[in-house]
Chain A
Amino acid sequence: MKILLVIATIASLLSPQAFANSLFSLENLERERAALLSVQLDSSLDLAQRQQKVQNIYRRLVDIERMVLRDDRVTSSNSALAQNAFDKYELTFLVHSSAEKSQSPLSHWMSELHLTTESILSAKAGHR
């Protein structure tokens, strides 16, 4: 009987329902990635400030990306967020996918979205 209780307790602790949010790590990743891109595109920061902030976020992002890739709770949820995240590896796991192409995360991100220097410089504001 005791053994059954112990097994039931362990099972309940391991079950996905025991955690309030199974997408916790993925949401953290999305936040940190958004913060990284936001900092890199923030024109109010000077070079030194930007570099320091980017380095801090970059360090955290490396860990968080690895956490999400190892987190089984994320895939057990079968949510649209999780589906999208793994369908778009290049945009989700920015640090590791940019390392594959030996690019910085921002360059890699812009390349994935087809935001080239020429297209940005030739962009015009106005009505379609």
Chain B
Amino acid sequence: MNTRIIMSSLILAISLGCTHFVLASEGRNWDPVASDKLIKLPANIIEKRIQQDFEASPMALHLVELEQDMQDKLSQLKSLGELIADSEGDDLINQRFELVQQKSEYLDLMQEAQGLRQNALAKKQQLYESVLGKLRNKNGRISKDEVYQLKQKQAQARERMQNVMAQVDSSLMHKGLDKRSPYADEFAVNLAKVEALKNAISQHKANASPTLGDVEVTSEEYVRQLLMQASTEQSLLDQEALMFSYMAKLVALDAQALEYEISYGDESTELTQRNRTKPADVADLFL
């Protein structure tokens, strides 16, 4: 009787514990910062750099440990399930109790891992937003900058000059000034070399724009795509959280059913009435 009371209270404690959120221990954090050095990297390298930083963080290392613990727990659950099939009587009760306990611990581990993943994803999203903000800020500053605007004007003026270069050269010929100046000669020779070098730079793989599929995109577009991927992952994590809540509910119901069975017997057990002396049975003695 005492054993049964202790076991039922333990089961009750486990069923309550299934809904308890296990907090991540201190020192298992990831605190990324969108530094200026990060912004200078190509967008696809930014993604890899962030992922690398996360994988080296205490949070990621703890997630790896949790994953290992969950795998071990899962194999224990499977072996217990097989044992239960062949057990009966008190052994069955004990093993069912053990199973509920193991399931509860497994859910605790999963919930802790889920919490850490949510945390990591939220920080990644904040980091991507910070990177995007800084990229936009930098592009805005560059476009508003006076030197940038002056360079734009020079580029437009150069284009305008290109349109009439042939015309000016032919007017020089008419004036009898068609002998090319040293500047013009050397400029022409260097120009071809400059164009070849510029082509080599633009085709260099370290200078390649990030791509989405096969389409080259700007850094801003790439980071926006990363943010979209993060929000997709967020939706999936939210769905997993819902699954966990249903699994926890099932474990709580299993614990409750086990408690009721131990305390009141299973469903097939009928309520027995004690024998009592009925007045009709002893009425003859009083006649």
Interface residues of A (CB under 8 A from B): 55, 58-59, 62-63, 65-67, 69-70, 72, 74-76, 78, 82-83, 86-87, 89, 93, 95-97, 99-100
Contacts and interface: CB of A to CB of B under 8 A. Distances in A.
Contact of B161 (A66, A75, A78): A66
A75 B147 contact: yes
Contact of A96 (B161, B175, B181): B161
A96 B161 CA distance: 6
B154 A69 contact: yes
A37 B172 CA distance: 18
Nearest to B177: A59
B153 A100 contact: no
Tier of interface size on chain B: 20 to 34
Nearest to A69: B158
The 10 closest A-B pairs by CB, nearest first: A86-B153, A99-B164, A75-B150, A75-B151, A69-B158, A99-B167, A78-B147, A59-B177, A99-B168, A63-B183
Interface in B160-204: 160-161, 163-165, 167-168, 171-172, 175-177, 181, 183-184, 187
Contact of A83 (B150, B161, B181, B187): B150
A87 B153 CA distance: 8
A19 to B, nearest CB: 16
| A contacts with B: majority SS | helix
Given A82-B150, A100-B163, A70 B158 contact: yes
Contacts of B161: 65-66, 69, 93, 96
Contacts of B168: 62, 95-96, 99
Given A67-B183, A89-B160, A99-B167, A55 B150 contact: no
Contacts of A67: 183
Contacts of A89: 157, 160
A89 B181 CA distance: 24
B146 interface: yes
A74 B157 contact: no
Given A62-B168, A63-B181, A86-B150, A55 B163 contact: no
Contacts of A96: 160-161, 164-165, 168
A78 B158 contact: no
B172 A59 contact: yes
Contacts of B151: 72, 75
A67 B146 CA distance: 21
B147 A55 contact: no
A60 B171 CA distance: 14
A4 to B, nearest CB: 19
Contact of B160 (A58, A74, A100): A100
Given A66-B187, A75-B151, A93-B157, 5 more contacts: A58-B177, A66-B161, A74-B154, A75-B147, A89-B157
A29 to B, nearest CB: 12
Contact of B175 (A55, A82, A83): A55
Contacts of A69: 154, 157-158, 161
A99 B183 contact: no
A58 B176 CA distance: 12
Interface centre among B147, B157, B158 (most CB of A within 10 A): B157
A75 to B, nearest CB: 4
13 contacts: A55-B175, A55-B177, A63-B183, A69-B157, A75-B151, A75-B154, A78-B147, A83-B150, A86-B150, A89-B157, A89-B160, A99-B168, A100-B164
